[in-house]
Amino acid sequence: SPPGSPSTPSCPTTILILVVHAGSVLDAASELTAKKSDVTTFRGSFEAVMRQHYPSLLTHVTIKMVPCPSICTDALGILSSLSPYSFDASPSAADIPNIADVPIGAIPLLSVASPEFHETVNKTVAAANIVYHEFLKSEEGHGFSGQIVMLGDSMGSLLAYEALCRSNGSQPGTASGASNSGGDAATNINTHNPLSPRNSRLDDDERFIEADLDAKRLLVAPSPRRRRSSSSSDSRATKLDFEVC
């Protein structure tokens, strides 16, 4: 370019990896120091692979951590009060009749169904936006126009999925979509199948079925719209300031 003309500095980073870290299922409160240590270990392993197989990308990939709050603290407290013995990922057949072990896979279901989960996703999106804008202001991110990748670590994968669904304008699959579709499907099955093939039942039997259906409806998870503080919470949902590849 001729002397005196403005020049656009080229950013060495072409791929930005945001690691969404919210701890594991059994982490009641994951410390920031432990999260930084995990990301440092991941960065070292990732760079070792690139150095061995993709040396040309070694200086073009930047990894940043997005710290998130633990989402399983309340669920762990509830399950501990119900079954204080242990948490077992795959209880043996001998322990199943005693119901002494709580499956680890059930813990996230309680977490995403809590009223606080929507706000936790907001905090996660806000934290990701802060990390992104701080990266743009840094020397390694000045003039960045490359690809952005989100990597979810354990429970962070749930929060990252919700954040991406929200930014894409689709219904989240864990908190909103699953609860709506699962609840509606359970209601339709229970209200249709037991009654339609049994039109010849007596009135007493019909009343018994209706009472049973009412009881089953109470077991269906409520709609997320009922759990939120206001009907306009969707319009106030925080969204990502960047696009993820």
Cα separation of 162 and 175, whole Å? 8
**35 residue type, one letter:** K
Over residues 157-175, the pLDDT tens digits come to 999 999 999 877 655 544 4
Q: What count of residues does the chain have?
A: 245
Over residues 83-132, the pLDDT tens digits come to 655 555 555 555 545 555 667 777 888 788 888 899 999 999 999 999 99
- Please report whether residue 214 resides in a domain: no
User: Which of 100, 14, 112 has its CA nearest to residue 60?
Assistant: 14
Whole-number average pLDDT of the chain: 73
Q: Is the pLDDT of residue 188 over 50?
A: no
Query: Which pLDDT value is given to residue 187?
Result: 37
- Please report whether residue 68 resides in a domain: yes
- Please report whether residue 2 resides in a domain: no
User: Which of 185, 190, 173 has its CA nearest to residue 224?
Assistant: 173
- Please report whether residue 144 resides in a domain: yes
- Please report whether residue 241 resides in a domain: no
- Please report whether residue 40 resides in a domain: yes
143 neighbors 135 (Cβ within 8 angstroms):
no
User: Which of 135, 128, 174, 130 has its CA nearest to residue 22?
Assistant: 128
Domain count, the chain: 1
Range of the domain at 99: 15-181
For 18, phi then psi, to 5°, come to -100, 115
- Please report whether residue 71 resides in a domain: yes
Lowest mean pLDDT among 111-115, 165-169, 209-213, 223-227: 223-227
Over residues 32-75, the pLDDT tens digits come to 888 899 999 999 999 999 999 999 988 899 999 999 888 887 77
CA 226, 228, 234 angle in degrees (round to 5)?
110
